[in-house]
Amino acid sequence: MSSDAGRKLSAVEPTPERDRSPAEARRGRHERAALAILGVLLAVCLVGLALSMGRNARLGRELGELSTDLASTRAALGAYESRLSEVRAAVAHLHALVEGDPVPAPAETPTEPTTEAPTP
């Protein structure tokens, strides 16, 4: 017993893992697994949000470019329509000249004054 007398014994403090029942230990593992799954789902959602925001930004830029193109196309179309109405008016005028009375001949203007007296 002399060898036992030299050792000092101390009390071991209880740890939560040792004091839990197997059902409580399983519940703890399930909670950690559920938290890990929630963390992964949160990470996937954040990646999806980032991708969606990037796509929305790209579509917004594309919408701006298309709006600019549409405005310039509308302006060009307005100019073409204006020119077309001018051409139609000119064609209508020419058609009226062709279908109507000929253009009156210009009045004869004497180029040299006559010194002769008219004969009666």
Q: Please state the domain extents for the chain.
A: 22-99
Average pLDDT over residues 24-50: 90
The predicted model gives 87-96 an average pLDDT of 93
Handedness of CA 44, 48, 54, 57 (dihedral sign): negative
Terminal Cα distance for the chain, rounded: 180
pLDDT > 70? residue 104: no
pLDDT score for 22 = 67
pLDDT of 2 higher than 60: no
How far is 120 from 71, CA to CA, in rounded Å? Answer: 77
Q: What angle do CA 97, 99, 100 make, to 5 degrees?
A: 65
Q: How far is the C-alpha of 102 from the C-alpha of 49, rounded, in Å?
A: 77
- Write down the pLDDT at residue 3: 57
